A and B are shown apart, each in its own frame.
Chain A
Amino acid sequence: MEPVLLAKRHIENSTDINIAIGEGAYKALQKVLTAMSPPQVHKEVMDAVLRGRGGAGFPAGLKWKFLDKNPKRTRYLCCNADESEPGTFKDRVIMETDPHMLIEGMIIACYAIDAHAGYIFLRGEYANSFRILTKAIAQAREHGFLGDNVLGSGFNVNIHVHVGAGAYICGEELAMLESLGGARGWPRLKPPYAATRGLFYEPTVVNNVETLACVPHIVLRGADWFKGMGSENNYGPKLYCLSGHVNKPGVYELPMGTTLKQLIDQSGGGIPNGRKLKAVLPGGSSSAALTAEEVDVPMDFDSMSKAGSMLGSAGIIVMDDSTCMVNACWNVARFYAHESCGQCTPCREGTNWVARILGRIERGQGEPGDIDMALTICDNMLGQTICALADGAVFPIRSIIQKFRAEFERHVRDGACPFGAKRKWYSVLPE
């Protein structure tokens, strides 16, 4: 397929506005401001069934529709560029190769929802993206795409880049809005949703970078073009991130619904060193693991949830047969224990307990009841918390334990890791 979101990836200086315009940037914006009303833009996005690329797959058009339209309130657009899901780096690639596509998408989205300010919540670790985005925004302002009276249309809009300070939880919609307000990133209890009480307690739409990047293309080429890719209710181009044990890790743009097997074998060039596939975390580390037998499944929202996992952020983490699954499981558990915001007891305590139990098993100090205890703790976390972080910890941990239980039992029985792991250095938990 012809690249859409990564079309400018191999063009030199593609982040410069003049080169971007030469490649077609801001054409959609001109079309919108001269020939379309906000409801028309909204309808086009609605018709395209553009599902959120951040992980949940909620249709962007519906999110816009639920927004409080009270003319007395200030509306905000917030772009989620906090991309902290392990195994995910697609948004970084968009921002670093085609920032103007994101900015154009944001301006059009602001126009559609009648917002005059947009914030890009960028994770603090993306220093290079920050430099590129600030420069691109300044250039867009010079060209009259941002500021007062955009291209003489009478529409005013500003975009600001807000730099986060390192917290996975800030990728959660309402935690992000709290963090943007200067507070700790604690998710809020829902409802009220961001659509009525979001940023600075005003109505807010939060969309992922990749979602917003699709908007100019939908507006320019129409909903039917967008629906020409993918399968029913899972339309459009999709960025897949491949990492771990593959020959060619990287971001690949393919139609929604490309199979996981195809992605690993063809795009990723297979498993290195003649090894065999053992397991995959298909949608970032918060998704349930799939075994080598389960990878012949289309990577779209509905097929993945039918397969017992999720598309999530499409961060595909591949593990070959040299991987100790107890170690991998511990690594994932440790991540969530570190990133739990501490607000809800089941998550704050549960993630830490599970991480400690798994660490103990990995070091050969596991006791016979430990595996079941870890599973019980998982059951007591699932669905018991304000946000989905605990669920995101449970899915991979529980699925890895269930699918590779023999390996865990062997660790306990032998009192050692059969893979000879010595990895002491990254235990962050006091033991």
Chain B
Amino acid sequence: MVWPSETEAVKPERQELPAGLVLQIDELLRHYPNKRAALIPALHKCQDHFGHIPGGVALALSEHMGLAPSCVADTISFYSMLRMKPVGKFHIEVCQTISCALRGADSLADYLVMKLGIGFGEVTRDGKFSLGKVECIGACEQAPAILINNELYGNLNKERIEEILGGLQ
């Protein structure tokens, strides 16, 4: 879990939600008997749109959904997939849990750190790649596995990583 101190500043500048995004959020509301239940899917939509959830967007979303800003911040702070800080164009998350660890997740991680020249939690200077760690992603039979922008890549070794990174534009 993430402590509130790690989330963004107290009162961010309100940011307008784009009309297309508002439509998507309103579509989500149809699936639930109350607005709050649509909060996490709505936050996913915001993150898909902006790459992360800027504080001003969280504030606008809270107004749009009729929720207290603190309620939105509370939910964002709890979930590891929701982030308020920007990441690279390609966000690479390495699974570090036991099944992947047994099959060489550590050397894969070392290789990525060396190859990209950044540590975990960092973004490359050109903004193209960022590295993160993730807990079990349910791909244990394909260990070691990673997520790139939440898409699964499994059965990895150096050659395959080279190939995948080379294909990302």
Contacts and interface: CB of A to CB of B under 8 A. Distances in A.
Task: Judge: A and B partners, yes or no.
Answer: yes
B75 A183 contact: yes
A84 B120 contact: no
Given A124-B150, A331-B97, A181 B37 contact: yes
B79 A86 contact: no
Interface stretch (B10-18, B40-48, B84-92, B158-166): B40-48
A335 interface: yes
A363 interface: no
B136 interface: yes
B1 interface: yes
A123 interface: yes
Contacts of B22: none
A335 B79 contact: no
A251 B38 contact: no
A182 B135 contact: no
Contacts of B133: 426, 428
A167 B79 contact: yes
B116 interface: no
A242 interface: yes
Interface string A73-86: 01000000001111
A164 interface: yes
A317 interface: yes
B110 A425 contact: yes
Interface residues of B, number: 49
A243 B140 contact: yes
A182 B75 contact: yes
A244 B40 contact: no
Interface in B101-137: 101-103, 105-106, 109-110, 113, 120, 133-137
Contact of A165 (B80, B113, B139): B80
Nearest to B105: A426
Nearest to A422: B106
Contact of B36 (A163, A181, A328): A181
B36 A249 contact: no
A92 interface: yes
B103 A83 contact: no
Interface stretch (A54-62, A214-222, A336-344): A336-344
A203 interface: no
Given A88-B140, A249-B140, A341-B1, A426 B135 contact: no
B138 A92 contact: yes
A242 B138 CA distance: 12
B138 A89 contact: yes
Given A181-B36, A184-B74, A317 B98 contact: yes
Contact of B103 (A88, A185, A244, A331): A244
Interface string B62-105: 00000000000011011111100000000000001111011101
A86 B38 CA distance: 28
Interface stretch (A64-72, A125-133, A406-414): A125-133
A88 B36 CA distance: 30
Contact of A245 (B36, B82, B102): B102
Report the 10 A-B pairs with minimum CB-CB distance, sorted nearest first. Answer: A166-B81, A243-B140, A165-B79, A182-B39, A184-B78, A182-B36, A243-B99, A249-B141, A166-B80, A86-B136
Interface of A: 74, 83-89, 91-92, 123-128, 160, 162-168, 179-185, 200, 241-245, 249-251, 281, 285, 315, 317, 319, 323, 327-328, 331-332, 335, 338-342, 423, 425-426, 428
6 contacts: A84-B135, A88-B138, A89-B139, A127-B150, A241-B140, A319-B102
Given A86-B135, A245-B102, 4 more contacts: A86-B99, A166-B80, A327-B101, A426-B96
Interface of B: 1, 31-34, 36-41, 43-44, 74-75, 77-82, 96-99, 101-103, 105-106, 109-110, 113, 120, 133-143, 147, 150-152
